[in-house]
């Protein structure tokens, strides 16, 4: 019995911890979007620095190999290092939903004026073709 008391307390507290959080404000959403953009830029900048350091190591290797007379194979051709530039954040314009009338959700005018249904049964309009 004593073994289960801590587990029951832990289960009871986990319900309180998982309470629903309030929705994010527009300011918090904008700050999160900016943080995501900065993280993306930071990754690109890190890739650029890694590329430059790899180029420097390869150049140093070829220089030392040539000085010692070791045979080397030509370096594999890769894309040039792309500089990420300075971080510039431009917030996205808020997306405004179109009203239903402008979204094209309604029937076209000819169909609305004369609907495709009528009083004739389908068997008269589309008779069954016998083989």
At 13-27, the pLDDT tens digits run 676 666 778 888 989
Range of the domain at 30: 25-66
Is 115 part of any domain? no
Residue 30, C-beta contacts closer than 8 angstroms, at least 6 positions apart = 91
**CA distance linking residue 37 with residue 30, whole number of Å:** 11
On the question of pLDDT at 105 being above 60, the answer is no
Residue 60 lies in a domain: yes
CA distance 115 to 120: 13
Q: How far is CA 101 from the centre of its chain?
A: 30
Contact 83, 55 (CB under 8 A): no
Number of domains observed in the structure of the chain: 1
Tens-digit pLDDT profile for residues 55-101: 999 999 999 999 999 988 888 888 899 998 999 988 877 777 766 66
Residue 50 lies in a domain: yes
Domain membership flag for residue 41:
yes
Mean pLDDT within 33-56? 95
- Let me know if residue 84 belongs to a domain: no
- Supply the mean pLDDT for the chain: 82
46, 84 contact by CB (below 8 A): no
Is a pLDDT exceeding 60 seen at residue 113? yes
């Amino acid at each position: 019995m004593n073994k289960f008391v801590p587990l029951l307390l832990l289960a009871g507290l986990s319900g309180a911890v998982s309470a629903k959080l309030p929705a994010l404000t527009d300011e918090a959403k904008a700050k999160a979007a900016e943080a995501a953009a900065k993280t993306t830029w930071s990754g690109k900048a890190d890739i650029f620095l890694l590329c430059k350091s790899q180029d420097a190591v390869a150049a140093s290797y070829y220089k030392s190999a040539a000085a010692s007379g070791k045979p080397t194979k030509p370096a594999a051709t890769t894309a040039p290092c792309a500089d990420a530039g300075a971080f510039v954040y431009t917030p996205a314009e808020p997306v405004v939903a179109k009203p239903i009338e402008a979204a094209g959700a309604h029937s076209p005018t000819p169909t609305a004026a004369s609907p495709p249904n009528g009083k004739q049964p389908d068997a008269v309009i589309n008779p069954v073709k016998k083989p």
